[in-house]
Amino acid sequence: MTLSNEIYQALEAIVGKRNISRNLGVRESYRNVPAQSSAHYGPSEHWTPLPQAVVLPGNTEEVQGVIRICNKYGIEFKASTTFWSTMGYIGGDFAIQMDTRRMKSVTIDQKNMTAIIEPFAIGATVQAEAMKYGLNLNIPGVGCSSSTLANFSSWAAFGPNSISMGAGSENMLGVEWVLPSGEVMRTGSWGAGDGWFCGEGPGPSQRGLLRGIFGAAGTFGVCTKMAVRLHPWPGPKVLPTYGTVPAYKANLGDNFKCYTLCFPNWEAWARSTQYFYECDVLYTGHRQFNMFGRDLKAFMLKIITNPDAQLGDLPKLMEDPYLQEQNKSMKLEYQVIIAGITERDMAYKEAAVDYILKETGGWKNEMMLEKDMHDFALLYLTRLGHKNLNYVMCGAYEGTFGLTGNVWKAIEVAEEAAGMKKHWEQTYTHIAATGGDSSMGGVSSIGGGGSTGWEFFTNFDAYDKESVRGTAKFVDGNQQMHNKYAFGPDFCRWNSDVRHMDGYSYTQEEHNEMFSKAPQPWVFAYQYKIREAINPNNLCGTYVRTLDPSTLEKA
């Protein structure tokens, strides 16, 4: 089935000739190969389906107009912002792709610490605008090059700052949403035109229909505007970034410090996070650079902070005894930033960090205290602009294992997971041999602490199909370990039950089969009912897990 001229012209009338294309070459660039940038679905070599047309709406009314046409003609649609993840791409053949690039505004309410943003306002631009007013936002671990609105409304959105700022869903205030039915929903206080400040109610919160622990990744329509909560930023209005590319650094003043805190064992590691959960001292807390792997991290840090260095320098660097010692020192570590509002506040926070280290037998890594390293790490974690370092080694990566939730449980299995990965690295060549443990993630994935969120960075080559396929087998192996501990799906496969490996959406029958076996199937049956209520023509793919309630009633 192809898009008729009539439908195309109807869409063109809404967005304007310049903002729609059905040229094959253009449409082809709106396909994704999950191995290249999957986000928990893959690795897979297949391309997602080819859209019938690509549409660039410029405002909510245009989005609504497009969706109404889709409903009228039964056309599937999906909207995306930066198109990084496979989630944003269509899942069927008779579908159009919406690209929300034209919608990118940011407005700051300084007093009430809020930003009102559109879809293409990426973390970097929202943060830059907020900093002018002494404010900051939670930039999720995926990095500042991704859409704040998309993260907060439609995916997970926890990151280095979540311990002090909360995760995406905690930072959502009023939201404007074009439902798949074509209706415009404005949540909370905005619905009645009272302002953007409250995203809940009136009565039960309708935002709860559209976003749970994850968002619906487009299956529940298009979020077109959002008010997000901002947080204090006691730093300069503009990041004073200096240094030679790519080793950008920033000195933010005496009231900012970035440390790599190291621990003698996992128990001490977990105890330290427990302390941090309870004392409101951290601005940022993230195990970031371990993504390079236990064997390589200190050396990789030296490479990315040296404008003249390259990956090929690794073997030589690894002969350096000082770096070897530093790498060993940071075997079990994470990075923190403390930011003092005042001198006294800073003194307290420094003292608290020292106290925690003393109580847990931990220490600050020496190499990361050197000015260049310190300023690099501080800028890195503040702006989170180097997301692409996920790919630096091989060109592709997947987050695997996925030890989330209770940090005390996570540490119990961390070495087993690391050992499993190391064994694979040593036995096969599919994945980069980075030393087993390559877990990366937030000290807390929720505001105020209490829940951690790690993924193991598994690096492979998207061009080398053996590497891609071998990585898939590795993930299968991980899943066995996950099953042993009832951890649910491996991080790499979190989305494998919402999109087929060939890029196409699931059928209802397939979803029924999967979710009827869930521990609490009515969770999925309710999602089915919600989808019926707001997406009656089922037009946006299958990123929401649904179970036909009639199957339960029959049972």
Partner 1 sequence: MALKDYRPMMERCSNCAGCKFIPFDKVQSLRFAENCPSIGYYNFMTYSARGRFQLSQSLLDGRAEMDETVTDLIHSCTSCGYCDIGCKVTRYNLDVLDHNIEQKAYAVENGKILPGQKPIMDNLAKENSMIPGTKKANRMDWAEGLNMKDLLKEQGEVAFFAGCKYSYTPKLQEVARAAVKLLQGAGVELGTLGAADNCCTGRAKQMGFFQEFEKGANNNIKAFKAAGVKTIVTPCSDCYHSFKRQYAKLGLDVKVLHVVEYIDQLIQEGKLTFTKEVPMTVTYHDPCHLGRLGEDYTPWEGKEKKIFNQIHTWEPRKPRYNGAYGIYDAPRNILKAIPGVKLIEMERIREYSWCCGAGANCQDSNPEFSAWTAGERVTEANATGADVLVTACPWCKDNFDNAVGEDGKTITVLDIIDLVQQAL
Partner 2 sequence: MASIKKELVGIVGEQNVIDSPEVLESYSKDQSFATPMMPVMVVKPENAAQVQELVKWANQTKTPLVPVSSAAPHFKGDTVPSVPEAVIVDLSGMNKILSINRQQRMAIVEPGVTYEQLLPALAKEGMTLSVPLTPKANKSVVTSVLEIEPRLNVLHQFNYTEPIRCTEVTYGDGNQIYTGEAGNAPKDLKKQWDLAKWQVHPNGPQMTDMLRMVLQAQGSMGIVTWASLKCELLPTIKKMFLAPAKKSTDLEAFVYKVIWSRFGDKIFMMNRAYLATLLGETREKIAGLKAELPNWVAAVGVSGDIMLPEMKVEGQSKDLEDIAQLTGVPLATSVPGVVGADLNEKVLNPSGATYWKQTAKGAFQDIFFITTLDKTSKFISLMYELAVEAGYPSEDIGVYIQPQHMGTSVHLEFNLPYDAANAVEVKRVKALYEMASREMSKLGAYYARPYGIWCNIQLNKDAQSYVLLQRMKNIFDPNNIMNTGKLTLH
For partner 1, which stretch binds (CB under 8 A), given 157-165, 378-386, 409-417, 485-493?
A: 378-386
Burial of 273 per CB tally in 10 Å (0-12, 13-18, 19+)? buried
Nearer to partner 2, 45 or 412 (CB): 412
Interface with partner 1, residue 30, by CB under 8 A: yes
Report the residue number, 270 or 303, with the smaller CB distance to partner 2: 270
Please give the size of the binding site for partner 1, defined by CB under 8 A: 86
Q: How far is the CB of 10 from partner 1 (least distance, A)?
A: 20
Q: Does 389 engage in binding with partner 1 (CB under 8 A)?
A: yes
For tokens 């003393």, the residue is 358
Residue 334 bridge partners (DSSP): 261
> Of these, 323, 369, 392, 501, which contacts partner 1 (CB under 8 A)?
392
For partner 2, the closer CB: 207 or 374: 207
Structure tokens at 146: 């991704």
Among partner 1, partner 2, none, residue 286 binds (CB under 5-8 Å by kind): none
Q: Look up tokens 């929401």; give the residue.
A: 544
Which H or E element spans position 34?
A: helix 34-37
416's tokens: 């087993």
Residue with smaller CB distance to partner 2, 382 or 434: 382
Q: Contact at 8 Å (CB) between 181 and 151?
A: no
Q: Which of 191, 195, 234, 246 binds partner 1 (CB under 8 A)?
A: 246
- Which one of residues 101, 364, 409, 500 is an interface residue with partner 1 (CB under 8 A)? 101
104 binds, among partner 1, partner 2, none (CB under 5 to 8 A by kind): partner 1
**Degrees to nearest 5, angle at CA 213 with 211 and 219:** 40
Distance from C-alpha of 167 to C-alpha of 293, rounded to nearest angstrom: 26
Long-range contacts of 279-282, Cβ-Cβ distance < 8 Å, separation of 24 or more: 279/352, 279/356, 280/164, 280/448, 281/338, 281/348, 281/349, 281/352, 281/353, 282/163, 282/164, 282/336, 282/337, 282/338, 282/443
**DSSP code per residue over 295-353:** TTHHHHHHHHT-TT--GGGHHHHTT-HHHHHHHHHTSSEEEEEEE-SSHHHHHHHHHHH
Task: Write out the binding residues for partner 1, residues 104-143 only, by CB under 8 A.
Answer: 104-106, 121-122, 124-129, 132, 143
Question: Closest CB to partner 2 among 276 and 397?
Answer: 276
Distance of CA 345 to the CA centre of its chain: 31
User: Of these partners, partner 2, partner 1, none, which one is at the site of residue 534 (CB under 5 to 8 Å by kind)?
Assistant: partner 2
Residue identified by tokens 């047309």 is 53
Work out what residue 216 binds among partner 1, partner 2, none; the CB cut-off runs from 5 to 8 Å by kind. Answer: partner 2
CB 87 within 8 Å of CB 41: yes
Cβ proximity of 418 and 383 under 8 Å = no
> Which run of H or E residues covers position 66?
helix 60-73
Minimum distance from residue 60 beta carbon to partner 1 (Å): 18
Is residue 15 near partner 1 by the rule CB under 8 A? no
536 binds, among partner 2, partner 1, none (CB under 5 to 8 A by kind): none
Nearer to partner 2, 93 or 280 (CB): 280
Closest to partner 1 by CB, 378 vs 446, is 378
For residue 55, the minimal CB distance to partner 2 (Å) is 24
CB under 5 to 8 A by kind: which of partner 2, partner 1, none does 231 bind?
partner 2
Could you tell me which residues come within 8 angstroms of residue 387 by beta carbon, excluding any fewer than 6 positions away?
142, 143, 144, 145, 146
Q: Is 3 in the site for partner 1 (CB under 8 A)?
A: no
**Does 8 contact partner 1 by CB under 8 A?**
no
Contact region with partner 1 (CB under 8 A), list: 35-43, 207-215, 257-265, 506-514? 35-43
- Closest contact distance (angstroms) between CB of 488 and partner 2 is 7
- 84 versus 177: smaller Cβ distance to partner 1: 84
Largest interatomic CA distance in the chain: 72
Please list every residue from 48 through 77 that binds partner 1, using CB under 8 A.
Answer: 54, 56
Q: Which is nearer to partner 1, 126 or 228 (CB)?
A: 126
Q: For the CB of residue 218, give the shortest distance to partner 1 in the complex, in Å.
A: 16
**Which is nearest to 215 in space by CA: 149, 291, 160?**
149
d(CA 399, CA 455): 5
Of these partners, partner 2, partner 1, none, which one is at the site of residue 434 (CB under 5 to 8 Å by kind)?
partner 1
Give the C-alpha separation, 61 to 532, whole Å: 23
Choose which of 250, 262, 330, 547 interacts with partner 1 (CB under 8 A): 250
Which CB atom, from 68 or from 101, has the smaller least distance to partner 2? 68
**Residue 188 touches which member of partner 1, partner 2, none, C-beta under 5-8 Å by kind:** partner 2
Query: Containing H/E element for 396?
Result: strand 396-405
Identify what 102 binds: partner 2, partner 1, none; CB under 5 to 8 Å per kind. Answer: partner 1
Q: Which does 11 bind (CB under 5 to 8 A by kind): partner 1, partner 2, none?
A: none
Cα(215)–Cα(223) distance, integer angstroms: 11
- What is the per-residue DSSP string for 175-195? EEEE-TTS-EEE-GGGGGTS-
The C-alpha atoms of residue 320 and residue 213 are separated, in whole angstroms, by 45
16 binds partner 1 (CB under 8 A): no
Number of Cβ within 10 Å of residue 484's Cβ equals: 10
The single residue among 17, 25, 371, 553 that binds partner 1, judged by CB under 8 A, is 25
| Smallest distance, partner 1 to C-beta of residue 144, A | 5
> Contact letters (x/-) for partner 1, 313-342, by CB under 8 A?
xxx---------------------------
